[in-house]
Structure 1
Amino acid sequence: MQHKAYVTDLDGTLLNSEQKLTPYTVQVITDAMNRGIVISFATARGYISAAGVVADISWKYPLILYNGALIYDSVRHKVIDGYWLDSGTSGEIISIGRSHGITPFHFSLDEADCERVMHEPPTRSGDVEFYNSRLNDERFREVEQLECPAGHRTVVMSYIGRLEELEPLHQEVLERFGSAVHIHFMKDIYIQDHYFLEFSHPDANKHQGLKLWAQLMGLDTEDIVVFGDHLNDLGLFAAAGTRVAVENAQEELKAMAQHIAASNNDDGVALFFANLYTRER
């Protein structure tokens, strides 16, 4: 079957371990899109964060952001569709976190669809490291006491900490909201011995994000090839017709894959496309 679209994860998949695109990857992906191949990405990052690491490629098609919570038009810089939590639920989760001595980075859209990241002064080591890695990110706004502003739509609330710090919060929110909130709990690949605990709309995941993206593109998910490395790509793999794991991927993801590409540090995704050209000749 002729595949109609390709969607890749960024961190650990298209990006190397330094969170960068190699010149080879930029060239191959750009050439592929110039040949008319539909390529996009699905990432846990927001648009500004993603653009900061993949701007060397001129992306032509809608992007899947915030782990599937947001579909974004990077050409017209416009939110197309997505899933977000209401302010009441968001405020209650912030209060539960505060009772455990932790506050999140609150990623939201304001009334003008601008990305905002509200947070209290970072003092815990994981928060400080995360914040320092984004010092020039214009989305970030420090507040004395975090609340969900009226009119803002919560895309995701991200708590950063050690496993034993986050697990009690995880359990309390799970007991309070159950399936009414999507919970994403994973080891961070950049901050040593730290985890991300994220809360979002129940449909804000890469599985539903890919389905919504396909619908907006007029495609069947069976015609989409996806690339990934981490557990947050499990939903992406479950929704797609063809699944490609990079060599450095988690074993659970590799078990779902039909193909294993070279690692992210060896231009695995780009080599897949280069080999695709060879097979078509």
Structure 2
Amino acid sequence: MKRRYLTDLDGTLLQSNATLSDYTVRTLTEALEQDVIISYATARSYQSSTTATSQINWRYPVVLYNGSMLLDPLTGKVLGGHWLGTDVSNEVIELGRTMNLAPFLFALDGDDRERVLHEKLSRYGDTEFYASRPGDPRFAEVEHLSCPPDYRTMIVTYIGRREEVEPLFRAVADRYGPAVHLHFMLDNYIKDHYFLEISHPLANKEHGLKLWCEQVGCQPEDVTVFGDNLNDIGMFKRAGRRMAVANAHRELKLLASEVIGSNDEDGVARVIEADLRGYNEQD
């Protein structure tokens, strides 16, 4: 039976410095050349994830923006997704404005191109996030942020210290409840800063896994998933084999089939290599 793997990127496949080790690149490349189905599910965009993993020639659909969008890396075609309504997007932006917070708006324009709209950046978390993506053509500064009527919102993202962002998290949760998906997480790279992401209620990795399985022709129980953080819980609830890296959040480890080596120990690649070796020996 053909093996299928879906891995998170940051904190899981990527090392702590947000790069891929030579060993991981070599192992995944060899596996893909043997027709093993491997792809990733990430909170990143396609632009950002491609930059971080450019050494690997991905050939199967990728799950982006925490499940908001599925994309074919060979053609660049959007294969599906779940979009937050324009009215709700703008209401959330205005709610943040009452707390002196302005987000990044991640959306698709009318031509299915990724866009990131934002107001003038001045807060540390925002400027650090922007600086980590030099020359990224998606970003555009606007005087007063709102979602254009022909855009489809993937995620509204706020970045800040916990005491800055948590009140907005609670306010959005109180106002919208299950009508939105909220993800509130400590960032891997900006010290002491949190990400608050607001998206469609089905825009999460659980439903991203479901869409991915439909594209590659399998069921979630046929898939081995890898993860490290709370946004991977949805995948872990549905997948048949669930691998948490050693540096994973305690809650994710409780859902795991197995705890493997950390992201800095090539945990994902070592599992795939061992599986492939065992599979070939059986042949």
- When normalised by structure 1's length, the TM-score is 0.97
In structure 2, what is the equivalent of residue 9 of structure 1? 8
What percentage of aligned pairs have identical amino acids?
A: 50
Give the CA deviation at 1:176: 1.4
Aligned counterparts, 1:13-92, within 5 A: 13-92=12-91
In structure 2, what is the equivalent of residue 170 of structure 1? 169
8 A contact 2:68–2:82 mirrored in 1: yes
In structure 2, what is the equivalent of residue 239 of structure 1? 238
SS of the aligned residue for 1:17 comes to coil
Q: Determine whether 1:200 maps to 2:187.
A: no
Letter in 2 for 1:8: T
Give the CA deviation at 1:55: 1.1
Aligned counterparts, 1:134-213, within 5 A: 134-213=133-212
8 A contact 2:44–2:66 mirrored in 1: yes
For residues 6-37 of structure 1, what are the alpha-carbon distances to aligned partners after superposition, in whole Å with 9 as ceiling and x for unaligned? 00000011100110011111110010011111
SS of the aligned residue for 2:121 comes to coil
8 A contact 1:68–1:207 mirrored in 2: yes
For residues 220-265 of structure 1, what are the alpha-carbon distances to aligned partners after superposition, in whole Å with 9 as ceiling and x for unaligned? 1110000011111111111111000111111111111111221111
8 A contact 1:119–1:143 mirrored in 2: yes
8 A contact 1:210–1:221 mirrored in 2: yes
For residues 68-88 of structure 1, what are the alpha-carbon distances to aligned partners after superposition, in whole Å with 9 as ceiling and x for unaligned? 110000100110000011111
For residues 84-107 of structure 1, what are the alpha-carbon distances to aligned partners after superposition, in whole Å with 9 as ceiling and x for unaligned? 111111010000000110010000
In structure 2, what is the equivalent of residue 248 of structure 1? 247
Q: Where does structure 2 lack aligned partners over 5 or more consecutive residues?
A: none
- When normalised by structure 2's length, the TM-score is 0.97
Give the CA deviation at 1:3: 5.8
In structure 1, what is the equivalent of residue 257 of structure 2? 258
SS of the aligned residue for 2:71 comes to strand
8 A contact 1:3–1:223 mirrored in 2: no
8 A contact 1:120–1:146 mirrored in 2: yes
Give the distance between the partners of 2:84 and 2:276, measured in 1 at CA.
43
8 A contact 1:3–1:224 mirrored in 2: no
SS of the aligned residue for 1:102 comes to coil
Following TM superposition, the consecutive aligned residue runs of length 4 or more in structure 1 with deviations greater than 3 angstroms are none
Give the distance between the partners of 2:2 and 2:267, measured in 1 at CA.
19
The total of aligned residue pairs comes to 280
